[in-house]
Amino acid sequence: MCMEVRWAPELNSSVTAWCWLWTPAGSFLVPYIIMLVVEGMPLLYLELAVGQRMRQGSIGAWRTISPYLGGVGKWALSWILDSRGFTGGAAWADPLPWSVCPLNGNRTGYDEECEKATSTQYFWYRKTLNISPSIQDSGGVQWEQGLCLLLAWLVVYLCILRGTESTGKLEQLANPKAWINAATQIFFSLGLGFGSLIAFASYNQPSTNCQKHAIIVSLINSSTSIFASVVTFSIYGFKATFNYESCLNKVILLLTNSFDLEDGFLTASNLEQVKGYLASAFPGKYSEVLPQIRNCSLESELATAVQGTGLSFIVYTEAIKNMAASQLWSVLYFFMLLMLGIGSMLGNTAAILTPLTDSKVISSHLPKEAISGEWANPRRTWGSGGRGAGNYWFDIFNDYAATLPLLLIVLVEIVAVCYVFGLRRFESDLKAMTGRTLNWYWKAMWAGVSPLLIISLFVFYLSDYILTGTLQYQAWDASQGQLVTKDYPLYALAIIGLLVASSTMCIPLVALGTFIVRCLKRGDTPPVA
């Protein structure tokens, strides 16, 4: 749930919900709840009401509101979960393949990369992703990932063949990033701005109480996220403690063997004291061993933020391998991820296929099966996601292709309903459709609070990236067994710019195209600026 979170050093792995709320990590909860109230529920109700009222997919619904707003409906992103099937297939193995490091080539010890990292990190970055050292190195085709992605899209295709009818610390508060992350988390978890809600709501009966549905779904979704965050931080604390103790044990073993110390003499409690003695008594020998001595710190382990795929495939699996009946929990966990992934793919696919099948131009030439098959085309499987650098490109799409455009799209949706279609007119339609009147809360959020807050976040987002300078990413360094920070190359920056532009420029371009076409139909010449 939390994207930019840090652990307080004094917390151990037995974190409780109450103490969690007063840590820097827990401060995320404040903007999250505020965003839920002023953005999440109002916008969820707005999209459900638009879909239910217009009875069309996203493109047709916004064209009904205004012919110049067809570009809003053309905004869609499909989030592809390309390695869950491969990782989940290993969940049946005994022992779990990420529980121990593999032997090296001559079978005299463990693999060096795995030794420097952890067995879980090694399995994810090397065995599952076979990740390249940088985004410039594309690497070879990863056939396991490609085949699993192909299988995922095949499942989606089979599901959509018959359509939806038959298929569901407090200073952090002053940091704009915390509010931006809270807003985007609300948008993503509720599916706002992608068109899928409008597509699904278009199948509702006109009398459906979508207001009640919006409130219930918002509260259940956020309650689940908050509960999951408590579990996440408990697991994260466990992982940090486990890694810290493993680091200490490696240092103790190294010093015991190097200086022929008695077994059991060196412990975690006297480690620093003995290190100081050895450095002064045996400076030459200690200097030889010093490069191999790791700096073990619980604080640094807790301060290392893990997010995105790393949270799902490293932190959780690190805990699962130490559980009793680890194979059972592993299978259940990856089956849950599979269902979540398929659900996300189905929702976003519906957002695209519904307006396409509603279009008479397309549906009159192609049957639904052909349209669905083209969208789930296997050619997607071996794109950038099926290569060694695919995870880096996935992060680019995840970090830059949605956040800024999503804020803009949602803002345009609110303005379109309240100030183009007209809030009073929309309120009247809702009353005629459902028999219920809008109360002051919904009108205040739609007409003022929500758009003003989104505009503020939009400005903060742009200023933050302008002040940040060169954009950077986390790359896996096999020689160190850890992630390192690198600058994006120029061509990656250009692609980031194109991703943002392609998602946002569709609105003004479609509006301009509609204006020109309407002028030509009237026989007028568009005015020259």
Binding-site residue set? 189, 221, 340, 344
* Main-chain phi, psi angles of 387, to 5 degrees: -125, 175
Exposed, middle or buried, 74 (CB in 10 Å: 0-12/13-18/19+)?
middle
Element at 485 (helix H, strand E): strand 482-487
Q: For 183, how many CA atoms within 13 A lie in the half-sphere containing its CB?
A: 28
Contact 85, 152 (CB under 8 A): yes
In terms of residues, how long is the chain? 529
Exposed, middle or buried, 250 (CB in 10 Å: 0-12/13-18/19+)?
middle
Q: How far apart are CA 143 and CA 156, in angstroms?
A: 20
Q: How far apart are CA 415 and CA 66, in angstroms?
A: 11
Positive or negative CA dihedral for 189, 191, 193, 194?
Answer: positive
DSSP-assigned letter for residue 221: H
Q: How far is C-alpha 278 from the chain's CA centre?
A: 48
Q: How far apart are CA 38 and CA 35, in angstroms?
A: 5
Q: For 430, how many CA atoms within 13 A lie in the half-sphere containing its CB?
A: 24
- Number of C-beta neighbours around residue 32 at 10 A: 23
Contact 120, 482 (CB under 8 A): no
- β-partners of residue 487 are 472
Contact 400, 496 (CB under 8 A): yes
Positive or negative CA dihedral for 21, 24, 30, 36?
Answer: negative
Q: How far apart are CA 470 and CA 487, in angstroms?
A: 7
Q: How far apart are CA 240 and CA 230, in angstroms?
A: 15
Contact 449, 38 (CB under 8 A): yes
| Residue bearing tokens 């200073």 | 171
Q: How far apart are CA 289 and CA 109, in angstroms?
A: 19
- For the annotated binding site for Na(+), the residues are 189, 221, 340, 344
* Structure tokens belonging to residue 349: 């696919």
Pick the closest to residue 90 from 64, 127, 55, 62 (CA basis). Answer: 127
